[in-house]
Amino acid sequence: MSGTVQAQVFEAGSTTYFNSSLFFPPAMRAEVFALYGFVRVADNFVDAVPQEAEAFRRFVAKYRAAWAGPPADDAIIDDFVALAKRLEFAPAWTDAFLASMEADLAKRIYRTEAEMLEYVYGSAEVIGLYMAKIMRLPAEAQFAAQRLGRAMQVINFIRDVAEDAAMGRRYLPLERDGVRLLDVPDDWLPTREWARANPEKWTAFLQGHLERYAVWQAEAEAGYRYIPRRPRMAVRTAGDMYNWTARKIAADPFVVFARQVKPRKARIVLQALWNGLRG
């Protein structure tokens, strides 16, 4: 595998995932890099300012051609296709991932939880399914793998809420289980000014989504028992760092307007070492 280019793309795009992934066994780590190289490149096209819509569509076309025929002469695509075929990733997973990425080119507001979860399936739950295949987990682990992807994506939405709003996006829905969390227009975008003027409403809104995260994260952690000891060290560390992020935001719901809450590399490494000791 052409690990260098994937590692560079991965490291540039994710502090927690990249540093946690360093604790996978070497062969498995190379597969993780091949996966994340592919998904990060696709995500970078739609998150660019301005968005690189045509570059994204060319990337998708090259992937589909490589899946159906000869290699694309692109290490990011070819290594992912080789990995997907070797480990028998369901093509529908990648279709769902690319559909969610494409949605970012046009869709800006997610009004209901059902809308958000449709997006999250493709953007994050299928990543859990890929990872379950990479770790050679039994089929029984797939539910927890999807829940871990879902939980982490929701924390990303909460952590990045101000950045997304600046781009005209809101992934966090205004309702949960059909119950309205905020009495605002459907196309409302969160701002520091609104939150400061409505502190109780803002805190309750974020708390509602943090509670949802906690349920999904607990369902994910129940599946750790399926993961062998060494890769479990990496997965548990990533999960622990997302729990840390959730606690920081819960303690200060306004911090999301000041900075992106992310653990430093030293915290991630120390947590990984602790997780290695406890097994």
What single DSSP character describes residue 170?
B
- Predicted confidence at residue 277, as pLDDT, reads 85
Is the pLDDT at 2 greater than 50, yes or no?
A: no
Per-residue pLDDT tens over the stretch 182-232: 999 999 999 999 999 999 999 999 999 999 999 999 999 999 999 999 999
Q: Write down the residue that tokens 């997973």 correspond to.
A: 93
5, 35 Cβ separation under 8 angstroms: no
In CATH, what number is assigned to the domain containing residue 160?
A: 1.10.600.10
Backbone Cα Rg of the chain: 19
How many distinct structural domains can be found in the chain? 1
- Please report where in the chains the tokens 């260098």 appear, as a residue: 4
Boundaries of domain holding 98: 3-278
The predicted-structure confidence for 26-76, as pLDDT tens digits, reads as follows 999 999 999 999 999 999 999 999 999 999 999 999 999 999 999 999 999
Q: Using an 8 Å Cβ cutoff, are 79 and 1 in contact? A: yes
Residues 6+ apart with CB under 8 A from 209: 154, 157, 158, 172, 176
Question: What residues pair up with 109 in beta bridges, in sequence order?
Answer: 170
Amino acid at 155: I
- In this prediction the pTM is 0.95
Average pLDDT for residues 1-10, to the nearest whole number? Answer: 75
Per-residue pLDDT reduced to its tens digit, 262-279: 999 999 999 999 998 886
* CA-closest candidate to residue 217, choices 236, 190, 194: 236
Alpha-carbon distances of 262 from 59, 85, 123, 125, 253, rounded to whole Å: 29, 34, 20, 21, 14
Exposure pattern of 253-276 as b/e (b: 16+ CB <10 Å)?
beebbeeebbbeeebbbebbeebb
Which tens digit of pLDDT belongs to each residue from 15-40? 899 999 999 999 999 999 999 999 99
Question: Peptide bond before 199: cis, by omega within 30 degrees of 0?
Answer: no
Map residue 71 onto helix, strand or coil: coil
Listed residue (231, 237, 255, 241) closest to 26, CA to CA: 231
pLDDT at 140: 98
Please report which helix (H) or strand (E) contains residue 179, including its range: strand 179-180
The answer on pLDDT for 155 being more than 70 is yes
